[in-house]
Amino acid sequence: MTYELALFDQKKMTIADKLRQFPWSIYFTICILACIGFAMLYSAANGSIDPYASRQMIRFAILSVGLLAIALFDLRFWLKYAYLFYFLALVLLIAVAVMGSTGGGAQRWLDLGVFQLQPSEIMKLATILALARFFHGASYEDVGRLRYLLPPIALIALPSFFIMRQPDLGTTLMLLAVSGAMMFLAGVRIWMFVAVIITVAAAVPIAWEFYMRDYQKDRVLTFLDPGNDPLGAGYHIIQSKIALGSGGIFGKGFMEGTQSHLNFLPEKQTDFIFTMLAEEFGLIGGIILLCLYTIIFIYGFYASYRCRNQFGRLVGLGITVNFFLYVFINIAMVIGLIPVVGVPLPLISFGGSAMLTVLAGFGLLFCVSIHREIRISRNMIGIDP
């Protein structure tokens, strides 16, 4: 199917025009967050730039160039090739099931020699683009018909199936949550969400009995009562709470955290890095970090709603919700509000695939902001990118 993108009263933007529209202040905020991450990874390695901080710096430098390139592409380019990107990401996801490398009891990565890629992270961005393209041409009446929603449901169900097989419950839930938010913002009726929630609630006992792995059940049981197995399944969250509490208001000081540097705190460079930060810089440090994240959240919603085309609005909102879920799930996990799942803290935790997803997502969000005045017709009947 081809598309014709109608541009109304919009001059051709030059590279200089786009660079002037680039949100440098928000990019600077992202750099501050990344620098905080470098410092915490330096601390996690007990005062050494290797192996975490140095690799994270290199990744950020390279991926920042990619962020700028993504932002400068015409927004209509991403609309034109949205389904192609989705298909390629799905192929990578299937490749993981066939020949992916295994770590920690899960088969989630593709070994590319230079680095290991986690396609499920890329799949989240690809799904956002695909759903935004589908709903771009939809009218309010269209999204009110259940039959019209079958294609986007399939777009969500396919990657969810393969990600759950890895197994990766955290990423699956994030994908479903972001997709659900986009469908809601596209105008899908409330009663449909209520029906889905009731169906899921009814299916929980069946999933618990027949589909959930033992370690997933342990995470839920540990969440309900961490003290039931303090040296086993409950060890992570108990040590995390001890570290959080010991930090107090102002913290123990940079590289002075006892729980982290005496190796009581597990996975301090990835999932539990917020706990290490709170132990070293206290409540004040945690609040400052949350304020920086909040600036980005506000910008994401503001930039999305300023966009004059539905595709850009949905892409921007999808990226912002995805980023919010990264932050919310990670912090809620380490303070014991939700069960422990493998979701990193964006720009702070060590990891290449998550940083790739986050910075590519910001590139798309900045692209939406730069091209916010472009009006793309909903009646798409041909294409000229």
Instruction: Count Cα atoms within 13 angstroms, Cβ side, for 183.
Output: 28
pLDDT in tens, 175-201: 999 999 999 988 888 988 888 889 888
Q: Which structure tokens are listed for 17?
A: 């025009």
H/E segment holding residue 80: helix 75-80
Per-residue confidence (pLDDT) for residue 37, from 0 to 100: 96
pLDDT in tens, 1-25: 344 444 443 457 888 889 999 999 9
Per-residue confidence (pLDDT) for residue 2, from 0 to 100: 41
pLDDT in tens, 115-133: 788 899 999 999 999 999 9
Per-residue confidence (pLDDT) for residue 360, from 0 to 100: 96
H/E segment holding residue 363: helix 352-370
The torsion angle over the Cα atoms of residues 218, 325, 281 and 38, rounded to 10 degrees, is 100
Domain map (residue ranges) of the chain? 15-370
Radius of gyration of the chain (CA): 21
Strands, E, within 36-105: which ranges? 101-103
CA 243 – CA 259 distance, rounded (Å): 6
Please provide the DSSP assignment of 139-153 as one string.
-TTGGG-TGGGHHHH
pLDDT in tens, 322-379: 999 999 999 999 888 888 887 899 999 998 888 999 999 999 999 999 998 888 876 5
User: Average pLDDT in the 32-46 region?
Assistant: 95
Please provide the DSSP assignment of 266-332 as one string.
TTTTTTTHHHHHHHHHHHHHHHHHHHHHHHHHHHHHHHHHH-SSHHHHHHHHHHHHHHHHHHHHHHH
375 versus 80: which is more confidently predicted?
A: 80
CB-based burial, 153-183: b 16+ in 10 Å, e otherwise: eebbebbbebbbebbbbbbbbbbbbbbbbbb
pLDDT in tens, 274-313: 999 999 999 999 999 999 999 999 999 999 999 989 999 9
